[in-house]
Structure 1
Amino acid sequence: MRLRKARITDVKGVHKLIMNTSADDGLVLPRSYNQLYSHLRDFFVIVDESREDEALGCCALSICWENLAEVRSLVVAREARGQGLGRKLVEACLSDAVTLGIYRVFALTNTPDFFRHMGFVEVSKDTLPQKVWSDCLNCPRFPDCDEIALHIEL
């Protein structure tokens, strides 16, 4: 397995990962092919090179504001869970944030313990800028969101 930046050839696999997870347990927002192509540079993937670079996991770092980014679309295929791949994907995003000079990163999640184990702390959603909520308007859970906001200072 190898962690790397996503490529054009990964879009269909990433879409499948996100849509299967979204449909199965609703832990991530669905993403259209258009959204994935438009934000491809935000994504990291973990691929299984023995299976023709099949995507086993993905995660994106989305820049929101001057000194704020979001970790989003974190998905690991069911058969690959429990191997630390999610942690590796988030660490890649955090490293990318530092490289870009962004030292505040947040996540909106229904699995806060995962992020807490990585050093994120819970914050009020009200502390995040309005721009963050643009995706919320397209979410099936809006306006009754049950996600928890967590952030980390790098």
Structure 2
Amino acid sequence: MTETISTAARFAMSHTEDCSPDQTGYEIRPAQVADLPQLQELVDRFVQANRLLPRTTDELHDLVPTGFVAIAEDRVVGFAALEIYSPKLAEIRSLAVDQGYHGRGIGRGLVSRCVQLAVSRNVLEVMAITSSDGFFKACGFDFTLPGEKKALFIQTRDEY
């Protein structure tokens, strides 16, 4: 199966080779329902800063089975989830890393775990809708869809 993984996906997945606390000061593990209060607090801070769209506790609960958290000092300091839409497409959702932990590879590690999950589930493409283009480009994402495809959106209501 490794030979069918794209170069970009291999690059994205290469960033969690050792995310053990002794090496990095944090660990990345699958999200758990018990993490929800801390996830909501973390996401709410990003919503208030206009960095993420609002997420209810129920929406975050739905992301837990395909989500990952970064834990440092016994608390959640990062989160990302993979929402799988079909065998062809998944999306990185609600990527957030506590401001005090930026620059330590946590975001990259969370993205890597999401891409690994997509590969393990044979999802063809993973997208990220973001205002942090440079970050995702550094994680191996490209700005374009394959071929001549373009992603177009229409907003169906004024607020989220």
| TM-score of the superposed pair, with normalisation by structure 2 | 0.75
**Superposed displacement of residue 42, structure 1:** 1.9
Aligned to 1:91: 112
Q: Is residue 40–residue 60 contact of structure 2 (8 Å, CA) maintained in 1?
A: yes
Unaligned runs of 5+ in 2: 1-25
**Superposed displacement of residue 127, structure 1:** 3.3
Q: Is residue 29–residue 139 contact of structure 1 (8 Å, CA) maintained in 2?
A: no
Letter aligned with residue 33 of structure 1: T
- Residue correspondences, number: 132
| TM-score of the superposed pair, with normalisation by structure 1 | 0.77
Query: Given the alignment, which residue of 41, 45, 57 partners 1:20?
Result: 45
Letter aligned with residue 95 of structure 2: L
**Superposed displacement of residue 39, structure 1:** 2.4
Report which of the two structures shows the higher radius of gyration computed on alpha carbons: 2
Q: Secondary structure at the match of 1:123?
A: coil
**Superposed displacement of residue 129, structure 1:** 8.4
Distance 2:69 2:111 in 1: 11
Deviating 4+ runs (over 2 angstroms): 126-130, 136-140
Aligned to 2:70: 46
Letter aligned with residue 127 of structure 1: K
**Superposed displacement of residue 65, structure 1:** 2.1
Letter aligned with residue 86 of structure 2: W
Unaligned runs of 5+ in 1: 143-154
Aligned to 1:79: 100
Which structure's relative contact order is higher, taking Cα pairs within 8 Å and 6+ residues apart? Answer: 2
Compared CA separation, residues 120 and 74, structure 1 to 2 (3 A):
same
Aligned to 1:150: none
Compared CA separation, residues 58 and 107, structure 1 to 2 (3 A):
same
Instruction: Tell whether 2:55 aligns with 1:31.
Output: yes
Q: Is residue 8–residue 37 contact of structure 1 (8 Å, CA) maintained in 2?
A: yes
Compared CA separation, residues 138 and 8, structure 1 to 2 (3 A):
farther
Q: How many percent identity over aligned positions?
A: 28
Aligned to 2:150: 127
Aligned to 1:104: 125
Letter aligned with residue 131 of structure 2: N
Distance 1:91 1:68 in 2: 16
